[in-house]
Amino acid sequence: MTESSDGAPRSAAADRASGAPGELCSPGADAGEKPILELRHVDKSFGPVQALSQVSLQVARGQATGLLGDNGAGKTVMIKTVSGMWPPDSGEILWNGRPIHIHTPRDAAALGITTVYQDLALCDNLDIVQNMFLGREALRLGSLDEVTMERAARRTLESLAVTTVRSIRQPVSSLSGGQRQSVAVARAVMIESKLVIMDEPTAALGVAQTRVVLDLIRRLVGQGVSVLMVSHNLNDVFAVADRLAILHLGHLVATGPASEFDPQVAVDFMTTGRSARARPGIAAPREA
Ligand SMILES: Nc1ncnc2c1ncn2[C@@H]1O[C@H](COP(=O)(O)OP(=O)(O)OP(=O)(O)O)[C@@H](O)[C@H]1O
Ligand SMILES: [Mg+2]
C-alpha cells in the first residue's frame, strides 16, 4: 500500500499500473479470460431477511478481488454460499464458465475453493505441520510420513516468505494472530487451491502482522491463485485488491478495477448503495 501525494491510499492495481517497484504480477488476468467464479442473479433469504438479492458478480482469475460492505450487507452469506454451506435459493453459480452446484464444503474443496475463516481455520492443539496436512496426511508403509510432510510444509512456508515461525513443530496455539493467518494461507497453497476466499483476514491483527498477511495474499496472487478477500478495512482492501465489489443490503451495488475507486467512493457505496462521485461504469446495474 502506498499513498498518493495528497495522502490518500492508492490501490495496489494503481501501483502496478504505474510500475511501482516490488509488486508481483498477476498472471492469467487477460481481459478475454473467463472469470474463475461467477454468480448470476443469486438470491438467498433467511425467513423474511433477504440476505442476497439478484447478486451477479464475476471473480476474476488470477487476481485479488476485495469484497466490501457494511455490517449485515451479505458478505459472509455470499462466501458461505460459494463455499457450499448452503445452496442459493435461486440463480446460478458458474465455475470456469460452466454452471455448477455446490452443495457441501466438500464440493467446493473438490473444485479448488478454499475458505479461510478467521477463527475456524486451524486446530490449536496441533502443530504447524499437522495443521497443514490435516485430513490429507502423507503416508509411507502404513504410517505417517513425517519427513515428507515437514519438508513440504517448510518449502511452502519459505515460498511464501513466512520466516517468523521458530519451529514448524510448535503448536499453533503458541503462534501470533498473523502467524496463524500465515499458516492458514500456506495450507490453502499446499492444497493447490484455485480460489482462496478469506473472511476478514486482518480483523484481529496489529499493523506489522497485517502487513505480513497482506504481502502473503499478494504472493498467492503472484502464484496464479485467485483471491476473494472480505474486509471492512479499506486500507487493507486497497493495498491488495485488483478489483472491488461492494454489497449494500444484499445488493451488489458496485464492481470494477480497484483503480476506478477511491476510498470516499467506496464508503459512499458501502453506506448508501450509490455514489455521486463515482466514475461511470462501476455502479452495478440495479436488478429487480
Ligand atoms: N444463518 C442465518 N440465519 C438468519 N439470518 C442470517 C443468517 N446469516 C446471515 N443472516 C442475515 O443475513 C444478513 C447478511 O448477513 P452477513 O453475515 O452476510 O453480513 P456481513 O456482510 O457478513 O456483515 P458483517 O460485516 O457484520 O460480518 C444479515 O441481515 C444477517 O442477519
Ligand atoms: Mg460477515
Using alpha carbons, list the distances in angstroms from residue 7 to 1, 4, 259, 262.
12, 5, 16, 12
- Top pLDDT among 284 and 106 is at 106
Distance 96 CA to ligand 2 centre (A): 26
Note the pLDDT of residue 255. 96
Of all ligands present, the nearest one to the C-alpha of 251 is 1
Note the pLDDT of residue 258. 96
Q: Whose CA is nearest to atom 2 of ligand 1?
A: 46
The class (CATH top level) of 1-112+194-288 is alpha beta
Bridge partner residues of 44 (DSSP):
52
Query: In the structure, what pLDDT confidence band is assigned to residue 257 with cuts at 50, 70 and 90?
Result: very high
Q: Mean pLDDT check: name the lowest of 72-86, 122-136, 140-154, 206-220.
A: 206-220
Query: In the structure, what pLDDT confidence band is assigned to residue 178 with cuts at 50, 70 and 90?
Result: confident
Q: CB of 75 closer than 6 A to ligand 1?
A: yes
Per-domain boundaries in the chain: 1-112+194-288, 123-192
Q: Are 43 and 49 in contact (CB under 8 A)?
A: no
What values do phi and psi take at 152, rounded to 5?
Answer: -65, -40
pLDDT digits (tens, 9 = 90+) for 76-101: 999 999 999 999 999 999 999 999 99
Counting ligand 1 atoms within 8 A of each CB, the residue from 46, 198, 237 with the most, and so the one to mutate, is 46
Q: Across the beta sheet with 113-116, what order do the strands follow?
A: 113-116, 195-199, 226-230, 64-69, 243-248, 251-257
Looking at residue 174, the DSSP 8-state letter turns out to be G
Bridge partner residues of 243 (DSSP):
65, 257
